A and B are shown apart, each in its own frame.
Chain A
Amino acid sequence: MSTSITVDGVGRVFSGRGGEVVALAGATFDVGAGEFVALVGPSGCGKSTLLRCIAGLDTDYTGTVHVGERLVDRPSTQTGMVFQEHRLLPWLTVRQNILFGFHGSAAEQRSRSEELLELMHLEAFADAHPHELSGGMAQRAAIARALAPRPDVLLLDEPFGALDAFTRVEMQDALREVWRQHNTTALLVTHDIEEAVVLADRVVVMAARPGRVQHIEQIDLPFPRNRGSEDFARVRASLLAQFSLVH
Protein backbone atom coordinates (compact mmCIF):
# COMPACT_ATOMS: atom_id res chain seq x y z
CA MET A 1 0.00 0.00 0.00
CA SER A 2 1.31 3.40 -0.87
CA THR A 3 0.07 6.79 0.20
CA SER A 4 0.55 10.34 -0.96
CA ILE A 5 2.39 13.05 0.99
CA THR A 6 1.06 16.60 0.96
CA VAL A 7 3.24 19.40 2.28
CA ASP A 8 1.36 22.68 2.46
CA GLY A 9 2.99 25.96 3.47
CA VAL A 10 5.31 24.41 6.04
CA GLY A 11 7.39 26.85 8.07
CA ARG A 12 9.82 26.17 10.88
CA VAL A 13 11.61 28.73 13.03
CA PHE A 14 14.42 27.80 15.39
CA SER A 15 15.04 30.13 18.32
CA GLY A 16 18.59 30.15 19.53
CA ARG A 17 21.01 32.43 21.35
CA GLY A 18 21.63 34.43 18.18
CA GLY A 19 17.92 35.14 17.77
CA GLU A 20 15.50 33.41 15.48
CA VAL A 21 16.49 31.45 12.39
CA VAL A 22 13.88 30.80 9.74
CA ALA A 23 14.72 27.29 8.53
CA LEU A 24 11.64 26.84 6.39
CA ALA A 25 9.18 29.35 5.02
CA GLY A 26 6.07 28.16 3.23
CA ALA A 27 7.44 24.98 1.67
CA THR A 28 4.77 23.41 -0.53
CA PHE A 29 4.90 20.28 -2.68
CA ASP A 30 3.38 16.84 -2.85
CA VAL A 31 4.43 13.29 -3.53
CA GLY A 32 1.97 11.05 -5.35
CA ALA A 33 1.09 7.60 -4.05
CA GLY A 34 3.80 5.18 -5.18
CA GLU A 35 6.01 7.97 -6.49
CA PHE A 36 9.75 8.36 -5.84
CA VAL A 37 10.66 11.98 -5.18
CA ALA A 38 14.06 13.44 -4.38
CA LEU A 39 14.44 16.60 -2.33
CA VAL A 40 17.67 18.38 -3.21
CA GLY A 41 19.17 21.68 -2.19
CA PRO A 42 22.24 23.35 -0.75
CA SER A 43 23.10 22.80 2.89
CA GLY A 44 21.00 24.95 5.17
CA CYS A 45 17.96 24.90 2.87
CA GLY A 46 16.00 23.01 5.51
CA LYS A 47 15.52 19.80 3.53
CA SER A 48 16.36 17.56 6.49
CA THR A 49 14.19 19.70 8.76
CA LEU A 50 11.33 19.30 6.31
CA LEU A 51 11.82 15.54 6.27
CA ARG A 52 11.74 15.46 10.08
CA CYS A 53 8.44 17.37 9.98
CA ILE A 54 7.03 14.82 7.53
CA ALA A 55 8.30 11.99 9.77
CA GLY A 56 6.53 13.53 12.76
CA LEU A 57 9.79 13.81 14.70
CA ASP A 58 9.62 17.61 14.54
CA THR A 59 6.15 18.91 15.30
CA ASP A 60 6.88 22.58 15.98
CA TYR A 61 6.10 23.63 12.44
CA THR A 62 3.44 25.87 10.94
CA GLY A 63 1.37 24.86 7.93
CA THR A 64 0.22 21.28 7.40
CA VAL A 65 1.73 17.94 6.45
CA HIS A 66 -0.54 15.08 5.45
CA VAL A 67 0.47 11.50 4.84
CA GLY A 68 -2.58 10.13 3.06
CA GLU A 69 -5.53 11.47 5.07
CA ARG A 70 -3.56 11.68 8.29
CA LEU A 71 -2.40 15.08 9.56
CA VAL A 72 1.14 14.45 10.81
CA ASP A 73 1.52 15.49 14.45
CA ARG A 74 3.68 12.59 15.68
CA PRO A 75 5.66 9.65 14.26
CA SER A 76 3.75 6.70 12.87
CA THR A 77 4.61 3.09 12.10
CA GLN A 78 3.07 3.76 8.70
CA THR A 79 6.13 5.86 7.94
CA GLY A 80 9.53 4.20 7.59
CA MET A 81 12.60 6.33 8.17
CA VAL A 82 16.22 5.81 7.14
CA PHE A 83 18.66 8.22 8.74
CA GLN A 84 22.05 9.40 7.54
CA GLU A 85 23.70 7.19 10.16
CA HIS A 86 22.46 3.62 10.22
CA ARG A 87 21.20 3.89 13.84
CA LEU A 88 21.10 0.14 14.29
CA LEU A 89 20.90 -0.93 17.91
CA PRO A 90 24.43 -2.16 18.67
CA TRP A 91 23.30 -4.93 21.04
CA LEU A 92 20.97 -6.58 18.53
CA THR A 93 21.99 -8.79 15.63
CA VAL A 94 21.26 -7.74 12.06
CA ARG A 95 18.17 -9.96 12.02
CA GLN A 96 16.88 -8.59 15.32
CA ASN A 97 17.50 -5.05 14.11
CA ILE A 98 15.58 -5.67 10.90
CA LEU A 99 12.65 -7.01 12.93
CA PHE A 100 12.78 -4.13 15.44
CA GLY A 101 9.51 -2.57 14.27
CA PHE A 102 7.92 -5.69 12.81
CA HIS A 103 5.06 -7.38 14.61
CA GLY A 104 4.08 -10.93 13.80
CA SER A 105 4.25 -14.57 14.85
CA ALA A 106 7.63 -16.31 15.09
CA ALA A 107 7.05 -17.86 11.67
CA GLU A 108 6.15 -14.51 10.13
CA GLN A 109 9.19 -12.90 11.70
CA ARG A 110 11.35 -15.66 10.33
CA SER A 111 10.03 -15.42 6.79
CA ARG A 112 9.99 -11.61 6.72
CA SER A 113 13.58 -11.38 7.96
CA GLU A 114 14.76 -14.05 5.50
CA GLU A 115 13.07 -12.17 2.69
CA LEU A 116 14.69 -8.85 3.59
CA LEU A 117 18.10 -10.36 4.33
CA GLU A 118 18.07 -11.91 0.88
CA LEU A 119 16.84 -8.75 -0.80
CA MET A 120 19.60 -6.75 0.85
CA HIS A 121 22.28 -9.43 0.38
CA LEU A 122 22.81 -9.73 4.10
CA GLU A 123 22.09 -13.47 4.53
CA ALA A 124 25.64 -14.19 5.67
CA PHE A 125 25.41 -11.48 8.33
CA ALA A 126 22.02 -12.31 9.85
CA ASP A 127 23.57 -13.07 13.23
CA ALA A 128 26.35 -10.48 13.13
CA HIS A 129 26.28 -7.37 15.27
CA PRO A 130 26.32 -3.91 13.68
CA HIS A 131 29.97 -3.21 14.55
CA GLU A 132 30.95 -6.14 12.36
CA LEU A 133 29.36 -4.59 9.27
CA SER A 134 30.79 -2.23 6.69
CA GLY A 135 29.10 1.15 6.23
CA GLY A 136 27.20 -0.03 3.17
CA MET A 137 26.00 -3.24 4.82
CA ALA A 138 24.87 -1.36 7.92
CA GLN A 139 22.89 1.07 5.80
CA ARG A 140 21.32 -1.82 3.88
CA ALA A 141 20.26 -3.32 7.21
CA ALA A 142 18.79 0.06 8.18
CA ILE A 143 16.77 0.19 4.95
CA ALA A 144 15.58 -3.37 5.61
CA ARG A 145 14.51 -2.34 9.12
CA ALA A 146 12.54 0.61 7.74
CA LEU A 147 10.83 -1.59 5.16
CA ALA A 148 10.09 -4.55 7.46
CA PRO A 149 6.65 -3.36 8.68
CA ARG A 150 5.72 -2.53 5.05
CA PRO A 151 5.27 1.22 5.59
CA ASP A 152 3.09 3.29 3.26
CA VAL A 153 5.81 5.88 3.03
CA LEU A 154 9.60 5.56 3.11
CA LEU A 155 11.59 8.64 4.11
CA LEU A 156 15.35 8.72 3.56
CA ASP A 157 17.57 11.45 5.00
CA GLU A 158 20.82 11.48 2.99
CA PRO A 159 21.16 7.75 3.58
CA PHE A 160 24.26 7.32 1.42
CA GLY A 161 26.00 10.57 2.35
CA ALA A 162 28.65 8.83 4.45
CA LEU A 163 29.43 6.05 1.96
CA ASP A 164 32.22 5.90 -0.60
CA ALA A 165 31.40 6.53 -4.27
CA PHE A 166 31.39 2.87 -5.36
CA THR A 167 29.22 1.70 -2.49
CA ARG A 168 26.90 4.62 -3.11
CA VAL A 169 26.23 3.62 -6.72
CA GLU A 170 25.58 0.06 -5.59
CA MET A 171 23.20 1.24 -2.87
CA GLN A 172 21.29 3.54 -5.21
CA ASP A 173 20.54 0.63 -7.53
CA ALA A 174 19.56 -1.54 -4.57
CA LEU A 175 17.24 1.18 -3.19
CA ARG A 176 15.43 1.66 -6.48
CA GLU A 177 14.91 -2.09 -6.69
CA VAL A 178 13.50 -2.54 -3.18
CA TRP A 179 11.33 0.52 -3.62
CA ARG A 180 9.87 -1.01 -6.78
CA GLN A 181 9.27 -4.35 -5.08
CA HIS A 182 7.59 -2.79 -2.06
CA ASN A 183 5.37 -0.46 -4.03
CA THR A 184 5.75 2.28 -1.44
CA THR A 185 5.98 6.06 -1.69
CA ALA A 186 9.56 7.27 -1.30
CA LEU A 187 10.95 10.68 -0.41
CA LEU A 188 14.73 10.95 -0.52
CA VAL A 189 16.67 13.93 0.83
CA THR A 190 20.06 14.31 -0.81
CA HIS A 191 22.62 16.93 -1.71
CA ASP A 192 23.84 14.79 -4.60
CA ILE A 193 22.13 15.83 -7.86
CA GLU A 194 23.29 12.73 -9.68
CA GLU A 195 21.72 10.55 -7.00
CA ALA A 196 18.45 12.42 -7.43
CA VAL A 197 18.52 11.95 -11.21
CA VAL A 198 19.36 8.25 -10.91
CA LEU A 199 16.53 7.47 -8.52
CA ALA A 200 13.66 9.90 -8.69
CA ASP A 201 10.55 10.30 -10.78
CA ARG A 202 10.49 13.94 -9.76
CA VAL A 203 13.07 16.21 -8.16
CA VAL A 204 12.12 19.02 -5.81
CA VAL A 205 14.85 21.70 -5.69
CA MET A 206 14.97 23.79 -2.55
CA ALA A 207 16.54 27.18 -1.96
CA ALA A 208 18.09 28.39 1.28
CA ARG A 209 17.59 31.39 3.57
CA PRO A 210 14.78 30.93 4.08
CA GLY A 211 14.26 27.29 3.08
CA ARG A 212 11.63 27.06 0.37
CA VAL A 213 10.75 25.08 -2.76
CA GLN A 214 12.42 26.68 -5.76
CA HIS A 215 11.63 24.36 -8.62
CA ILE A 216 10.12 20.96 -9.33
CA GLU A 217 11.40 18.88 -12.23
CA GLN A 218 9.82 15.80 -13.76
CA ILE A 219 12.43 13.28 -14.90
CA ASP A 220 11.16 11.15 -17.75
CA LEU A 221 14.25 8.99 -18.35
CA PRO A 222 13.46 5.27 -18.42
CA PHE A 223 14.73 2.90 -15.70
CA PRO A 224 17.32 1.62 -15.06
CA ARG A 225 18.99 4.92 -15.74
CA ASN A 226 22.34 4.98 -17.42
CA ARG A 227 24.60 7.40 -15.59
CA GLY A 228 26.78 7.75 -18.70
CA SER A 229 24.07 8.53 -21.26
CA GLU A 230 23.65 11.89 -22.98
CA ASP A 231 20.07 12.29 -21.77
CA PHE A 232 21.25 11.73 -18.22
CA ALA A 233 23.90 14.43 -18.63
CA ARG A 234 21.30 16.81 -20.08
CA VAL A 235 18.89 16.37 -17.18
CA ARG A 236 21.68 16.70 -14.69
CA ALA A 237 22.90 19.89 -16.34
CA SER A 238 19.42 21.44 -16.27
CA LEU A 239 19.11 20.63 -12.57
CA LEU A 240 22.56 22.04 -11.90
CA ALA A 241 21.42 25.22 -13.60
CA GLN A 242 18.55 25.40 -11.11
CA PHE A 243 21.06 24.90 -8.35
CA SER A 244 23.19 27.83 -9.49
CA LEU A 245 20.08 30.00 -9.42
CA VAL A 246 19.60 28.90 -5.86
CA HIS A 247 23.04 30.02 -4.74
Chain B
Amino acid sequence: MAVDAAALDTTTAAEPRPAQRRRGFPIGWVVPLAILLLWYLAYTFAWVNPILFSSPVEVVQTLWTATLDGTLPTHLGTSVGRWLLGFAIGAVLGLALGAVTGLSGFFERLLDPTVQALRTVPIMGLVPLFIVWFGLGELPKVILIAFAAFFQVYIQMFHGIRNIDRKLLEVGRMYELSTTATLKRIVVPGAMPSILQGIRLGLGIAWLALVIAELTGSNSGVGYWMQTGREYVRVDVVLAALIVFAAVGKLVDSLVRLLERRLLGWRDTIEREM
Protein backbone atom coordinates (compact mmCIF):
# COMPACT_ATOMS: atom_id res chain seq x y z
CA MET B 1 0.00 0.00 0.00
CA ALA B 2 1.27 3.42 -0.88
CA VAL B 3 1.93 5.61 2.13
CA ASP B 4 1.10 9.27 1.98
CA ALA B 5 4.48 10.88 2.50
CA ALA B 6 2.95 14.17 3.60
CA ALA B 7 0.95 12.43 6.33
CA LEU B 8 4.13 11.01 7.83
CA ASP B 9 6.25 14.10 7.39
CA THR B 10 7.83 14.81 10.75
CA THR B 11 10.40 17.30 9.53
CA THR B 12 8.01 20.24 9.62
CA ALA B 13 9.41 23.21 11.45
CA ALA B 14 8.13 24.76 14.63
CA GLU B 15 5.59 27.01 12.94
CA PRO B 16 2.12 25.61 13.57
CA ARG B 17 0.66 24.32 10.32
CA PRO B 18 -1.82 26.69 8.71
CA ALA B 19 -5.41 25.64 9.10
CA GLN B 20 -5.61 24.42 5.53
CA ARG B 21 -6.93 21.00 6.46
CA ARG B 22 -9.63 22.59 8.57
CA ARG B 23 -10.76 24.79 5.74
CA GLY B 24 -10.91 21.87 3.29
CA PHE B 25 -13.81 19.46 2.86
CA PRO B 26 -14.32 17.50 6.09
CA ILE B 27 -13.61 14.12 4.56
CA GLY B 28 -14.27 12.37 7.87
CA TRP B 29 -17.99 12.65 7.03
CA VAL B 30 -17.71 10.78 3.72
CA VAL B 31 -17.93 7.28 5.15
CA PRO B 32 -20.86 7.90 7.55
CA LEU B 33 -22.82 9.67 4.79
CA ALA B 34 -22.12 6.83 2.36
CA ILE B 35 -23.36 4.32 4.92
CA LEU B 36 -26.51 6.41 5.43
CA LEU B 37 -27.13 6.53 1.68
CA LEU B 38 -26.55 2.81 1.29
CA TRP B 39 -28.90 2.15 4.19
CA TYR B 40 -31.57 4.35 2.60
CA LEU B 41 -31.21 2.65 -0.78
CA ALA B 42 -31.22 -0.82 0.76
CA TYR B 43 -34.48 -0.05 2.53
CA THR B 44 -36.15 1.76 -0.38
CA PHE B 45 -35.42 -0.97 -2.89
CA ALA B 46 -36.23 -3.69 -0.35
CA TRP B 47 -32.80 -5.32 -0.47
CA VAL B 48 -33.38 -6.08 3.20
CA ASN B 49 -36.37 -7.46 5.09
CA PRO B 50 -38.36 -4.32 6.02
CA ILE B 51 -39.70 -5.99 9.17
CA LEU B 52 -36.17 -6.46 10.49
CA PHE B 53 -34.93 -3.12 9.27
CA SER B 54 -36.16 0.48 9.44
CA SER B 55 -35.54 3.29 7.04
CA PRO B 56 -33.26 6.13 8.13
CA VAL B 57 -36.26 8.44 7.86
CA GLU B 58 -38.19 6.30 10.31
CA VAL B 59 -35.29 6.28 12.75
CA VAL B 60 -35.00 10.06 12.59
CA GLN B 61 -38.76 10.30 13.22
CA THR B 62 -38.42 7.97 16.19
CA LEU B 63 -35.57 10.06 17.58
CA TRP B 64 -37.62 13.21 17.06
CA THR B 65 -40.81 11.98 18.72
CA ALA B 66 -38.86 10.38 21.57
CA THR B 67 -37.13 13.69 22.11
CA LEU B 68 -40.38 15.66 22.05
CA ASP B 69 -42.30 13.39 24.42
CA GLY B 70 -39.39 13.40 26.86
CA THR B 71 -38.59 9.68 26.64
CA LEU B 72 -35.15 10.10 25.14
CA PRO B 73 -34.01 13.08 27.26
CA THR B 74 -35.04 11.23 30.43
CA HIS B 75 -33.26 8.01 29.45
CA LEU B 76 -30.22 9.89 28.20
CA GLY B 77 -30.03 11.92 31.40
CA THR B 78 -30.17 8.75 33.49
CA SER B 79 -27.49 7.08 31.35
CA VAL B 80 -25.12 10.04 31.35
CA GLY B 81 -25.57 10.45 35.11
CA ARG B 82 -24.65 6.80 35.76
CA TRP B 83 -21.79 6.98 33.34
CA LEU B 84 -20.20 10.08 34.83
CA LEU B 85 -20.72 8.93 38.41
CA GLY B 86 -19.21 5.51 37.68
CA PHE B 87 -16.38 7.00 35.70
CA ALA B 88 -15.60 9.59 38.36
CA ILE B 89 -15.34 6.92 41.05
CA GLY B 90 -13.22 4.64 38.88
CA ALA B 91 -10.98 7.46 37.68
CA VAL B 92 -10.32 8.88 41.15
CA LEU B 93 -9.42 5.43 42.46
CA GLY B 94 -7.33 4.74 39.36
CA LEU B 95 -5.41 8.00 39.65
CA ALA B 96 -4.82 7.52 43.36
CA LEU B 97 -3.72 3.90 43.17
CA GLY B 98 -1.72 4.49 39.98
CA ALA B 99 0.12 7.33 41.70
CA VAL B 100 0.89 5.14 44.73
CA THR B 101 2.26 2.23 42.70
CA GLY B 102 3.93 4.55 40.20
CA LEU B 103 5.82 6.44 42.88
CA SER B 104 6.71 3.54 45.15
CA GLY B 105 8.42 0.32 44.16
CA PHE B 106 7.19 -1.25 47.38
CA PHE B 107 3.52 -0.58 46.62
CA GLU B 108 4.05 -1.67 43.03
CA ARG B 109 5.26 -5.07 44.21
CA LEU B 110 2.48 -5.22 46.79
CA LEU B 111 -0.52 -4.15 44.67
CA ASP B 112 0.24 -4.24 40.97
CA PRO B 113 0.07 -8.05 40.52
CA THR B 114 -3.46 -8.09 42.00
CA VAL B 115 -4.59 -5.18 39.82
CA GLN B 116 -3.15 -6.82 36.71
CA ALA B 117 -4.93 -10.08 37.54
CA LEU B 118 -8.27 -8.35 38.11
CA ARG B 119 -7.83 -6.42 34.88
CA THR B 120 -8.14 -9.59 32.85
CA VAL B 121 -11.60 -10.35 34.26
CA PRO B 122 -14.11 -9.65 31.47
CA ILE B 123 -16.64 -7.11 32.70
CA MET B 124 -19.50 -9.02 31.05
CA GLY B 125 -18.76 -11.88 33.42
CA LEU B 126 -19.23 -9.64 36.43
CA VAL B 127 -22.79 -8.62 35.57
CA PRO B 128 -24.56 -11.70 37.02
CA LEU B 129 -22.40 -11.56 40.14
CA PHE B 130 -23.14 -7.88 40.72
CA ILE B 131 -26.86 -8.46 40.20
CA VAL B 132 -26.82 -11.26 42.78
CA TRP B 133 -24.86 -9.13 45.24
CA PHE B 134 -26.33 -5.70 44.71
CA GLY B 135 -29.73 -6.32 43.11
CA LEU B 136 -31.10 -4.37 40.16
CA GLY B 137 -30.71 -0.83 41.46
CA GLU B 138 -28.17 1.83 40.60
CA LEU B 139 -25.37 0.37 42.70
CA PRO B 140 -24.36 -2.61 40.50
CA LYS B 141 -24.38 -0.43 37.38
CA VAL B 142 -22.24 2.29 38.89
CA ILE B 143 -19.82 -0.27 40.31
CA LEU B 144 -19.53 -2.02 36.96
CA ILE B 145 -18.78 1.26 35.18
CA ALA B 146 -16.30 2.34 37.85
CA PHE B 147 -14.63 -1.07 37.66
CA ALA B 148 -14.21 -0.78 33.90
CA ALA B 149 -12.88 2.79 33.97
CA PHE B 150 -10.54 2.15 36.89
CA PHE B 151 -8.08 -0.07 35.02
CA GLN B 152 -7.55 2.21 32.04
CA VAL B 153 -6.90 5.21 34.25
CA TYR B 154 -4.75 3.20 36.67
CA ILE B 155 -2.48 1.78 33.96
CA GLN B 156 -1.97 5.11 32.22
CA MET B 157 -1.27 6.88 35.51
CA PHE B 158 1.27 4.24 36.48
CA HIS B 159 3.06 4.32 33.14
CA GLY B 160 2.87 8.11 32.95
CA ILE B 161 4.82 8.35 36.18
CA ARG B 162 7.24 5.56 35.34
CA ASN B 163 8.07 7.01 31.93
CA ILE B 164 9.11 10.39 33.27
CA ASP B 165 12.64 11.15 32.20
CA ARG B 166 14.98 10.55 35.15
CA LYS B 167 17.19 13.26 33.75
CA LEU B 168 14.47 15.84 34.35
CA LEU B 169 14.14 14.62 37.94
CA GLU B 170 17.85 15.32 38.33
CA VAL B 171 17.26 18.89 37.24
CA GLY B 172 14.73 19.12 40.08
CA ARG B 173 17.34 17.76 42.50
CA MET B 174 19.85 20.40 41.40
CA TYR B 175 17.35 23.07 42.47
CA GLU B 176 16.66 21.33 45.79
CA LEU B 177 12.96 20.86 45.04
CA SER B 178 10.97 19.29 47.87
CA THR B 179 9.03 16.10 47.17
CA THR B 180 5.81 18.09 46.82
CA ALA B 181 7.43 20.60 44.47
CA THR B 182 8.93 17.78 42.40
CA LEU B 183 5.50 16.17 42.08
CA LYS B 184 3.86 19.44 41.16
CA ARG B 185 6.50 20.83 38.83
CA ILE B 186 7.91 17.71 37.15
CA VAL B 187 5.95 14.52 37.81
CA VAL B 188 2.38 15.72 37.20
CA PRO B 189 3.09 17.74 34.05
CA GLY B 190 5.37 14.98 32.79
CA ALA B 191 2.69 12.34 33.31
CA MET B 192 -0.12 14.53 31.97
CA PRO B 193 -0.17 13.17 28.40
CA SER B 194 -0.54 9.68 29.76
CA ILE B 195 -3.14 10.73 32.35
CA LEU B 196 -5.32 12.37 29.70
CA GLN B 197 -4.94 9.33 27.49
CA GLY B 198 -6.15 7.22 30.43
CA ILE B 199 -9.14 9.51 30.95
CA ARG B 200 -10.08 9.26 27.28
CA LEU B 201 -9.77 5.47 27.22
CA GLY B 202 -11.50 5.23 30.59
CA LEU B 203 -14.48 7.29 29.44
CA GLY B 204 -14.76 5.09 26.36
CA ILE B 205 -14.73 1.81 28.23
CA ALA B 206 -17.07 3.22 30.89
CA TRP B 207 -19.53 3.99 28.10
CA LEU B 208 -19.34 0.36 26.96
CA ALA B 209 -19.84 -0.83 30.51
CA LEU B 210 -22.88 1.43 30.76
CA VAL B 211 -24.50 -0.23 27.75
CA ILE B 212 -23.81 -3.68 29.18
CA ALA B 213 -25.21 -2.66 32.56
CA GLU B 214 -28.37 -1.19 31.06
CA LEU B 215 -29.05 -4.07 28.72
CA THR B 216 -29.04 -6.52 31.60
CA GLY B 217 -31.60 -5.74 34.24
CA SER B 218 -32.55 -2.10 34.11
CA ASN B 219 -35.72 -0.02 33.97
CA SER B 220 -34.28 3.27 32.76
CA GLY B 221 -31.54 4.59 30.54
CA VAL B 222 -30.81 4.49 26.82
CA GLY B 223 -29.84 0.82 27.08
CA TYR B 224 -33.20 0.05 28.65
CA TRP B 225 -34.94 2.00 25.89
CA MET B 226 -33.07 -0.11 23.37
CA GLN B 227 -34.12 -3.24 25.23
CA THR B 228 -37.81 -2.27 24.99
CA GLY B 229 -37.31 -1.75 21.23
CA ARG B 230 -36.03 -5.30 20.98
CA GLU B 231 -38.93 -6.72 22.96
CA TYR B 232 -41.56 -5.02 20.82
CA VAL B 233 -39.57 -5.65 17.60
CA ARG B 234 -39.22 -1.90 17.11
CA VAL B 235 -36.05 -1.99 15.05
CA ASP B 236 -36.26 1.79 14.63
CA VAL B 237 -35.94 2.22 18.42
CA VAL B 238 -32.97 -0.14 18.59
CA LEU B 239 -31.25 1.72 15.77
CA ALA B 240 -32.14 5.11 17.25
CA ALA B 241 -30.62 4.08 20.60
CA LEU B 242 -27.48 2.84 18.86
CA ILE B 243 -27.13 6.19 17.10
CA VAL B 244 -27.50 8.00 20.42
CA PHE B 245 -24.79 5.80 21.96
CA ALA B 246 -22.44 6.43 19.05
CA ALA B 247 -23.10 10.17 18.92
CA VAL B 248 -22.59 10.76 22.65
CA GLY B 249 -19.48 8.58 22.69
CA LYS B 250 -17.98 10.45 19.79
CA LEU B 251 -18.92 13.83 21.23
CA VAL B 252 -17.21 13.14 24.54
CA ASP B 253 -14.17 11.71 22.81
CA SER B 254 -13.87 14.90 20.78
CA LEU B 255 -14.19 17.02 23.91
CA VAL B 256 -11.36 15.15 25.63
CA ARG B 257 -9.21 15.46 22.51
CA LEU B 258 -9.86 19.19 22.54
CA LEU B 259 -8.79 19.29 26.18
CA GLU B 260 -5.65 17.34 25.28
CA ARG B 261 -4.77 19.79 22.58
CA ARG B 262 -5.29 22.68 24.99
CA LEU B 263 -3.22 21.20 27.79
CA LEU B 264 -0.56 19.50 25.71
CA GLY B 265 0.14 22.12 23.08
CA TRP B 266 3.82 21.85 23.99
CA ARG B 267 4.07 18.34 22.63
CA ASP B 268 5.85 17.80 19.38
CA THR B 269 4.03 14.77 18.13
CA ILE B 270 3.11 13.41 14.77
CA GLU B 271 -0.53 13.68 15.85
CA ARG B 272 -0.22 17.42 15.79
CA GLU B 273 1.08 17.44 12.25
CA MET B 274 -1.56 15.11 10.86
Chain A interface residues (CB < 8 Å from chain B): 55, 57, 75-77, 79-81, 83, 85, 87, 89-92, 100-101, 128-129, 131-132, 149
Contact = CB atoms under 8 A, between A and B. Distances in A.
Contact of A57 (B174, B185, B264): B174
B174 A81 contact: yes
Nearest to A133: B14
A31 B174 CA distance: 20
Going nearest first, the 8 A-B pairs with the smallest beta carbon separation are A132-B14, A131-B268, A101-B175, A129-B266, A91-B266, A91-B189, A81-B174, A75-B174
A87 B190 CA distance: 13
Interface in B241-273: 264-268
Contact of B266 (A79, A83, A90, A149): A90
A87 B168 contact: yes
Contacts of B175: 75, 77, 100-101, 149
Nearest to A129: B266
22 contacts: A55-B174, A57-B174, A75-B174, A75-B176, A76-B176, A77-B175, A77-B176, A83-B167, A83-B170, A83-B171, A85-B167, A89-B171, A90-B266, A90-B267, A91-B189, A91-B190, A100-B175, A100-B185, A129-B266, A129-B268, A131-B268, A149-B175
B96 interface: no
A81 B173 CA distance: 11
Contact of B173 (A75, A100, A149): A75
Contacts of A75: 173-176
Given A57-B174, A80-B174, A85-B167, 8 more contacts: A75-B173, A79-B174, A81-B174, A83-B170, A83-B171, A87-B170, A89-B186, A90-B267
Interface residues of B, number: 19
A83 B167 CA distance: 9
Contacts of A55: 174
B192 interface: yes
Contacts, number: 53
A87 B164 CA distance: 12
Contacts of A57: 170, 173-174
A102 B175 CA distance: 9
A89 B173 contact: no
Task: Report whether over half of chain B's contact residues are helix, strand or loop; otherwise say mixed.
Answer: helix
Interface in B168-197: 168, 170-171, 173-176, 185-186, 189-190, 192
Interface string B1-44: 00000000000001000000000000000000000000000000
A81 B266 CA distance: 24
Contacts of B265: 129
A91 B187 CA distance: 12
Nearest to A89: B168
Nearest to B176: A77
A57 to B, nearest CB: 6
Task: Report whether over half of chain A's contact residues are helix, strand or loop; otherwise say mixed.
Answer: loop
A55 B174 CA distance: 8
Nearest to B175: A101
A132 B14 CA distance: 5
A57 B192 CA distance: 27
A17 B228 CA distance: 67
Nearest to B264: A91
Nearest to B13: A132
B267 A100 contact: no
Contacts of B168: 87, 89
A55 B171 CA distance: 11
Nearest to B165: A87
Nearest to B167: A87
B89 to A, nearest CB: 29
A81 B167 CA distance: 12
A131 B14 contact: yes
Contacts of A90: 266-268
B138 to A, nearest CB: 39
Contact of B174 (A85, A89, A101, A132): A101
A75 B176 CA distance: 7
A92 B175 CA distance: 16
A76 B173 CA distance: 8
A153 to B, nearest CB: 12
Q: Name, among A55, A80, A87, the residue most crowded by chain B CB atoms within 10 Å (CB to CB).
A: A87
A80 B174 CA distance: 7
Contacts of A149: 175
B174 A128 contact: no
A202 to B, nearest CB: 25
A90 B167 CA distance: 12
Interface in B132-178: 167-168, 170-171, 173-176
Contacts of A100: 171, 175, 185
B211 to A, nearest CB: 36
